[in-house]
Amino acid sequence: GDLNYVDVEFTKPKKKKKSKKDKESSETSDVPQPSVEYSEVIVQNSKPSLKG
């Protein structure tokens, strides 16, 4: 159970830490927030996309 909790905190540390500012930053941080997590997927998909 301990390992499971650690994974969740490390997986989404921004949602738990920015829980209160989520409403205020939701308008502007809504884009950059998920961008970091999806950054890895976007970068991997962007690399082959640019090469064609």
pTM: 0.15
Rg of the chain on CA atoms, in Å: 14
Task: Give residue 11's pLDDT.
Answer: 57
Contact between 12 and 37 under an 8 Å Cβ cutoff? The reply is yes
If you search the block for the tokens 């950059």, which residue do you land on? 32
What secondary structure letter does DSSP report for 52?
Answer: -
Number of structural domains found in the chain: 1
- Residue 26 above 60 pLDDT? no
Query: What percentage of the chain exceeds 90 in pLDDT?
Result: 0
pLDDT in tens, 28-46: 545 555 555 555 666 666 6
Task: Give residue 29's pLDDT.
Answer: 47
Domain that holds residue 42: 2-51
Angle, alpha carbons 21-3-17 (nearest 5°): 5
